[in-house]
Amino acid sequence: MDCIFCKIIAKEIPSEIIYENDKVFAFLDTNPVNPGHTLVIPKTHNENLIDTEDELLCEIILTVKKIAPAIIKAVGAEGYNLGVNSGTVAGQVVFHTHFHIMPRFEGDGHRHWNKKPYKEGEIGEVALKIIAEL
């Protein structure tokens, strides 16, 4: 498999490891939003969030909960964003499940969303379509 994250887990590619256990691996992003930007990934290869087993997702989020406060304290951030990109159109570049912990600072200029309000009546239609797919 030619997955850069699998190679990082196997230590074939060097990384700044923040945390590791038998299921999860966390390391600093080399192209960070801000210093301390960390990626939390499963040690098994899963393409995206939906492809990842529920038990493993629980382990990942518990790892985020454990290390995020340490990251924030270490870099003096005022908060953080937690991000997961699924699919190319959503900005996923590496197709191995990963969560971003992105430390945030007042005035850092990083913006995540350009919000687009619903048109008249559209919100209810969208809700019904989603419910029908559940």
pTM above 0.85, yes or no: yes
Choose, from 98, 100, 110, 112, the residue flagged as catalytic. Answer: 98
pLDDT tens digits, 80-112: 999 999 999 999 999 999 999 999 999 898 876
pLDDT tens digits, 40-74: 999 999 999 999 999 999 999 999 999 999 999 99
Could you identify the residue written with the tokens 């559209």? Answer: 122
Edge-to-edge strands, sheet with 38-42: 17-20, 24-28, 38-42, 99-104, 79-83
Domain segments of the chain as ranges: 4-133
Across the chain, which distance is largest between two alpha carbons, in Å? 53
| Architecture (CATH level 2) of domain 4-133 | 2-Layer Sandwich (3.30)
Is 98 part of the annotated catalytic residue set? Answer: yes
φ, ψ dihedrals at 109, nearest 5°: 80, -5
pLDDT value, residue 110: 81
